[in-house]
Amino acid sequence: MLRGLCATSVVMITMAMLLSGAAVRAQEAEDWQEPFRLFLADPDYVNALGEQIDLVEQQIAPECIQVLKNANRRELRVRVKPVFKAGTLWPIWGEWREQISIERCDEPVIHNVLVTARPDGAPQLTSLLPGNTRASVEMQIAASLPVVNIANARMGKECPSGQRDIVDTVVVGFLDGTGNQPIAKQKWREYWLVRLCAKYLTIQVDFQPDGKGGFTHSADLIE
């Protein structure tokens, strides 16, 4: 318990120092941006982010939980514009994704947290896949199952199901020269690292347009 608390404190304190430099991407200045900026610096919210990262780290890298450091907010993407009620600090509506980098055992790691505001309490925090994946929340969910299934087929019953996690995602690059195309026409490749007990497998995941405004994916084991 003490180990987790100490590691969380390192993350949270560093994050609090860096919050003032966070950027909210928006097309134009709107009334919600100033209350949103104030909310992002709220200590309770900062602490909740740190605790969420700590929970994920205890799951995927417990051996490094004492040496988490150098947290840095990299990016904030608003999916649904926040709504604030007059006289309240916390939003009652909205959704955004926080991307935060840390050092785990002196190696850089990126955490992605989906934050969903609620009208009746604190926002809900949901950890997305770690790493720099370009996949949306929905795409991550859809691709995770086949990726884990491929890893399971290789490992069989050697590793309990509770010890199987996607611990990193890396964008390899665009396919078929689509990097300069509109997002809806882009194709790209990622490597997803799966940890199964003490072993690691890398799964190649390709994303391409499905012709209906969304994307489809394919996954293969990298030998």
Cβ-based neighbours of 156, under 8 Å, separated by 6 or more: none
Give the mean pLDDT of 127-156.
90
Report the chain's mean pLDDT, rounded to a whole number.
Answer: 83
pLDDT digits (tens, 9 = 90+) for 63-103: 887 878 888 888 899 999 999 988 889 999 999 999 999 99
Query: Mind spelling out the 3-state secondary structure of 2-25?
Result: HHHHHHHHHHHHHHHHHHHHCCCC
pLDDT digits (tens, 9 = 90+) for 102-131: 998 888 999 999 999 999 889 999 999 999
Q: What is the pTM of this model?
A: 0.80
Q: Which helix (H) or strand (E) holds 38?
A: helix 33-40
As a whole number of angstroms, the distance between CA 223 and CA 211 comes to 31
Q: Which of the residue ranges 5-9, 18-22, 89-93 has the most confident prediction, judged by mean pLDDT?
A: 89-93
What's the DSSP call for residue 28? S
SS3 70: strand
The interaxial angle of helices 2-18 and 43-60, nearest 10 deg, is: 130
DSSP letter string, 169-214 = EEEEEESTT-TTS-GGG--EEEEEEEEETTEEEEEEEEEEE-SSSS
